[in-house]
Structure 1
Amino acid sequence: MTATDLPPGAAASRTATEPPPRGTTVRPSGAGAGPPTVDVPSGAGGAPTAAAVMDRVREYASGLPARASEIERLGRVPGDVLDGLKATGLLRAALPPSRGGVELTVPHITRAIDELATGDASVGWCAAVALNASLAVVRLRAHAYTELFPDPDLITATVLPPTGQGTPRDGGYLLSGRWTHASGITHADRVMAGFLTPQGVPRVAVFDAAHVRVMDTWNTTGLRGTGSHDIEVAGLFVPERHTFGLAPSAGRQDPPHLRADNLALKMAGVPLGIARSALSAAREILAARRPALPRPASPADLARAESLIGAADAYVYNTLEDVWAAQEAGRTPERGTAALARQFAHRACREAVQLLYDAVGSAAVYTERTPLDRCLRDVITASRHVASAEGVLDAVGDLRLGGDPASPHL
């Protein structure tokens, strides 16, 4: 097998009779009852309020554990689960009200990802990646954005490292390249992919996901449901108006909701959500077995894990509130602080989940009885992301000693 299947409706602009791209086959979405969606009050003009979106996310996330095994087995998020995610309004959360959004703060968006990851880590991860599409609303001209995103709930797979090459041609670029870790590509409508111009200038191209060849590469320990396969295109024409640079124009200040340097901040919600799921499962198992615990140290391990998760939660959200307050006041937040909090969350939550796994004993290995094994695998895989791996510590340490690391994740 050389390509991953794409579900029906993977690109909104594809007609019902148009064939899928070469190397890709179509298969139906997964069966089963999806997480619930909830009717909640809207704000003025019929737009959902920030509180309403958060309420929807919590209610939706409560139904995700029942689908978690299926999502992992399929290696993608089923269509009905995606429909429920769209109904929460989260995918448009960072957009301005004129585009159907509610402009949730970064702390609120991170909390929403945290809630989703508590229900299922792959859904939380894919939602976080899909939110990166909000970059396009300030980087593209209004008519180009409307061309690409006639529906603000279209899902985007984002691979920003400029591993593609763009050759200028007739008002645009012929784009060729291969990108790794295209999370959500098995259900994406659009792709945002980084490339280099002949002058070596990095840009981002936005195009229909139907045009990519999806390589079957995501055979991993955890986060299997994200479908983070490699993708490639060869000689795809992308109009100039559908490309943009990540650096804002001189003198322009993007609204805090849409700043490129906020992209990585919300990812701290993923390990926190995974760890909360593991803590809840371990507590339930150990409470039921309290008269005959698997290990004498199990209660202490449970308490130690809870303290690690609590410390990570406080560090992350206090830091995000400080960052957000600085941005709203027009100040530049201290560089590296949020990155440290995010990296600590991954490290602390990974340790916490391992403690809980050990505390429960042999019961943790039964994947259909408890989420602990999946939680451990998911948090290990999530912590390998470049924005949260150990290299962040090297970069921030160098920064604190007077260096100027080029990492975009600080």
Structure 2
Amino acid sequence: MNRTEPMNRMKPMDRTKPTDRPDRPSLEDERMTVVELPPRAPESGLTADDVLERVRAYAATLPARAPEVERQGRIPADLLDGLRATGLLRAALPPALGGVELTAPQLTRAVDLLAEGDASVGWCAAVALNASLAVVSLPAEVFAELFPDPDLITATVLPPLGRSAAHDGGYLLSGRWPSASGITHADRVLAGFLTPDGAPRVAVLNAADVRVLDTWHTTGLRGTGSHDFEVTDLFVPDRHTFTPPAAGAPQPLHLRADNLALKMAGVPLGIARSALSCARELLTARGPALPRPSAPAELAHAEALIGAADAYVYTTLDRAWAAQAAGRAPERGTAALARQYAHRACREAVQHLYDLVGAAAVYTERTPLDRCLRDVVTAGRHVASAERILDAVGELRLGGDPSSPHL
């Protein structure tokens, strides 16, 4: 799409499709009905292991639905209900807010499991967990006002792309934000903006108050519905905004912004495992009639690429988490390097498997290989995993101080 095209020519999304919830009140209306919200407890006896087991069982149902998710360009309502039921959406919240507090390696593994079932579901779940960023900076009573249900789904675009004018204890917010993953099914939206004096802040919006633009026509991750959205002179009370938390700030371990960013490494790992499983099944079904004599060795090579990426990511995450739990700062840039490597190695593995299987890979209703390749390529375009991460980490290792927030 031509980014200079006037906004009034953009096609708005129909937010009244069955997967949406019509007639949702505005946040201001919700505020008027709130008197007092007591601390919310997690489900009785629910542990991190319980959440991971529920995620594993739920993820096993996703491959059969993945073609549907891609065709619709969004996650169907019943799959969203199933995702909520796993407890994952509350897994980064403290227990007082209904959370379970999975570690960064556990959150990454959960995203990994979901992405193996369907990359779009895994991606949207990872983005939805960013609602925990609001816990760091908002007073507890304001967070409870905005998130009365710990399983609400959040879309997030944190760069300060919006502009604002001061107005009656808050801001009149205007702007357009790109690639808001999950915006078609979100309950809340975190949108970065600049205050009138140029300071970056994040607004918590009701998703029903934003205008969704039909822009997400992509190679992969089609089911994420990562459309652009816009608002014009939308009033946002100051208490519904916060300063973006800085990486490494003295926050509770489960709520550190840099820890929440780590989970995205699970997406390429899950995609690649799905591709590997499919290729193995297809080649096994052929028996001795393999496409070429080297096929077994080539399959093993792809498995080695994925295994190396898995070991790199989770060893790095475990060490970083242990260091932080002991009060030490983990080495800066290491987790970002592992994440970027996972995207590169898994993309190579999936492309290798696609080529190995041959013509069978192009039949999208028979095999997920084509979708896996498109999904892993698209996922790797995200700024937190793109090739520029190598530049930033290399500069850091040579004594520089890169400003990248993704290290």
TM over 0.5: yes
Q: Does 1:127 align with 2:137?
A: no
**What's the RMSD between the two structures over aligned residues?**
1.9
Q: Does 1:168 align with 2:166?
A: yes
Q: Does 1:348 align with 2:345?
A: yes
Residue 2 of structure 1 aligns with an amino acid whose one-letter code is K
Instruction: State the distance in 2 between where 1:273 and 1:252 align.
Output: 30
> Which runs of 5 or more structure 2 residues have no equivalent in the other structure?
1-9, 27-40
Instruction: State the distance in 1 between where 2:365 and 2:43 align.
Output: 45
Offset of residue 247 of structure 1: 3.3
1:14 corresponding residue in structure 2:
24
2:240 corresponding residue in structure 1:
242
Q: Does 1:2 align with 2:11?
A: yes
Worse-matched range after superposition: 387-396 or 255-264: 255-264
1:233 corresponding residue in structure 2:
231
Q: How many residues align?
A: 383
* Residues 170 and 238, structure 2, Cα contact 8 Å, conserved in 1: yes
1:54 corresponding residue in structure 2:
52
Worse-matched range after superposition: 197-206 or 101-110: 197-206
Q: 1:63 to 1:92 in 2, by over 3 A?
A: same
2:78 corresponding residue in structure 1:
80
* Residues 159 and 179, structure 1, Cα contact 8 Å, conserved in 2: yes
Select the residue among 313, 316, 325 that pairs with 1:316: 313
Offset of residue 329 of structure 1: 1.5
Residue 296 of structure 2 aligns with an amino acid whose one-letter code is P
Q: 1:15 to 1:201 in 2, by over 3 A?
A: closer
Offset of residue 13 of structure 1: 7.8
1:89 corresponding residue in structure 2:
87
The one-character-per-residue Cα deviations of 1:91-120 (angstroms, maximum 9, x if unpaired) are 000101111111000000000000000000
Select the residue among 205, 208, 229 that pairs with 1:207: 205
Offset of residue 233 of structure 1: 0.5
* Residues 108 and 263, structure 2, Cα contact 8 Å, conserved in 1: yes
Instruction: State the distance in 2 between where 1:97 and 1:284 align.
Output: 42
Instruction: State the distance in 2 between where 1:388 and 1:9 align.
Output: 30
* Residues 133 and 245, structure 2, Cα contact 8 Å, conserved in 1: no
2:300 corresponding residue in structure 1:
303
Select the residue among 144, 148, 151 that pairs with 1:153: 151
* Residues 19 and 76, structure 2, Cα contact 8 Å, conserved in 1: no
2:31 corresponding residue in structure 1:
none
Question: SS state of the match for residue 306, structure 1?
Answer: helix
Moved over 6 A (4+): none
Instruction: State the distance in 1 between where 2:232 and 2:60 align.
Output: 42
Q: Does 1:116 align with 2:126?
A: no
The one-character-per-residue Cα deviations of 1:354-407 (angstroms, maximum 9, x if unpaired) are 110011111000001100000000000000000000000001001111111110
The one-character-per-residue Cα deviations of 1:101-148 (angstroms, maximum 9, x if unpaired) are 110000000000000000000000000000000111221111211111
Residue 5 of structure 1 aligns with an amino acid whose one-letter code is D
Instruction: State the distance in 2 between where 1:87 and 1:12 align.
Output: 22
TM-score, length-scaled by structure 1: 0.90
Worse-matched range after superposition: 164-173 or 383-392: 164-173
Residue 269 of structure 1 aligns with an amino acid whose one-letter code is G
Instruction: State the distance in 2 between where 1:231 and 1:130 align.
Output: 16
Offset of residue 296 of structure 1: 2.7
Q: 1:11 to 1:134 in 2, by over 3 A?
A: farther
* Residues 137 and 245, structure 2, Cα contact 8 Å, conserved in 1: no
Question: SS state of the match for residue 291, structure 1?
Answer: coil
* Residues 104 and 260, structure 2, Cα contact 8 Å, conserved in 1: no
Select the residue among 267, 270, 276 that pairs with 2:267: 270
Question: SS state of the match for residue 283, structure 1?
Answer: helix
Residue 274 of structure 2 aligns with an amino acid whose one-letter code is S
Instruction: State the distance in 2 between where 1:125 and 1:56 align.
Output: 17
Q: Does 1:334 align with 2:334?
A: no
Q: 1:11 to 1:173 in 2, by over 3 A?
A: farther
> Which runs of 5 or more structure 1 residues have no equivalent in the other structure?
17-42
1:28 corresponding residue in structure 2:
none
Instruction: State the distance in 1 between where 2:327 and 2:23 align.
Output: 39
Instruction: State the distance in 2 between where 1:11 and 1:191 align.
Output: 15
Residue 71 of structure 1 aligns with an amino acid whose one-letter code is V
1:259 corresponding residue in structure 2:
256
Worse-matched range after superposition: 269-278 or 396-405: 396-405
1:381 corresponding residue in structure 2:
378
Q: 1:137 to 1:113 in 2, by over 3 A?
A: same
Q: Does 1:372 align with 2:372?
A: no
Offset of residue 12 of structure 1: 8.9
* Residues 249 and 256, structure 2, Cα contact 8 Å, conserved in 1: no
Percent identity for Structure 1 against Structure 2: 74
Offset of residue 11 of structure 1: 6.0
Instruction: State the distance in 2 between where 1:112 and 1:265 align.
Output: 12
Residue 4 of structure 1 aligns with an amino acid whose one-letter code is M
Instruction: State the distance in 1 between where 2:72 and 2:42 align.
Output: 40
2:102 corresponding residue in structure 1:
104
* Residues 333 and 393, structure 2, Cα contact 8 Å, conserved in 1: yes
Residue 73 of structure 1 aligns with an amino acid whose one-letter code is R
